[in-house]
Amino acid sequence: MELLQSRMVEKLPRYEQVRYAIQQRLIAQTWGIDEAIPNEQELADEYQVSVGTIRKAIDLLVADGLLVKQQGKGTFVRYPDFASSLIRFFRHRDTSGQPLIPVGIVHQVQEIPTGDARINEALQRPSTAPLIYIERTRNLQQRIFVSEKIWLPKEAFQALLTIPLAEFDNLLYPMYRRVCSQLIVSAKEQLSFLAQHQDAYLSTQQPETMVKICRYAYGLDGRVLEYRESYGRAAEFYYETVIH
């Protein structure tokens, strides 16, 4: 397998090999978030290729959202902000139409020692592997507009169990990195509707149609680090996209 892999790598263009090598260094956290990586000439010398080849490799990593380039300053490790998450498409605007920034509140963190088959399948783990379960809401001026259920592999995230609910950050992914050294770099989201659904946190008088968003969040190595189900009122959802 090792040999097969190296044979495969040998057949790839050099810019793909370099891209792979740099990505491995990102996984190993050789450079920190928002830190400049070596400049193009240094990388060219190091990998024994021309600057143009380095540029092509870096452009691919930029397109993947792992790096950002800034003219005159350098190339930096990117901090993913998930600006295109479907969650952002609930209509939370103030009276002047400005988007408002929601507050994330953690209501519950608990261990599930014997796991859950459905969740562990989503996380690509054995069906009885232990989990951590979090209930969280996103609020806007005291009003809950999104209810979230989050599951994490216990081994990598058990440091979260020692943290009081009130000390959870507004943003979870930076916290995963700081507390558990787990970096989320991309995610897949699936949207569907639930007729007549009722959620404990979304104070509906009666069941109504809800949007359900399932998110699989991935680390740099492609493994699923978090599975999340978010619920919100369908009437408040609005999504826009461009197609070609």
Q: What are phi and psi of 11, to 5 degrees?
A: -85, -15
Instruction: Please give the Cα distance from 107 to 96 (Å, whole number).
Output: 31
Size of interface with DNA, in residues (CB under 7 A): 25
72 touches DNA by CB under 7 A: yes
HSE-CB at 64 with a 13 A cutoff on CA atoms is 19
Structure tokens at 204: 């509906």
Question: Binding residue for DNA (CB under 7 A) from 30, 41, 170, 209?
Answer: 41
In the bound state with DNA, the residue whose beta carbon lies nearer, of 71 and 98, is: 71
Question: Binding residue for a copy of itself (CB under 8 A) from 45, 64, 94, 111?
Answer: 64
For residue 216, the SS3 value is strand
Instruction: Please give the Cα distance from 222 to 26 (Å, whole number).
Output: 13
Question: Binding residue for DNA (CB under 7 A) from 27, 49, 144, 156?
Answer: 49
In the bound state with DNA, the residue whose beta carbon lies nearer, of 20 and 218, is: 20
Instruction: Please give the Cα distance from 219 to 10 (Å, whole number).
Output: 25
Structure tokens at 122: 């989503």
Contact positions with DNA (CB under 7 A) in 11-40: 13-16, 36-37, 39-40
Q: Which does 135 bind (CB under 5 to 8 A by kind): DNA, a copy of itself, none?
A: none
Residues that bind a copy of itself (CB under 8 A): 64-65, 80, 82-86, 185-193, 195, 208-209, 211, 234-235, 237-244
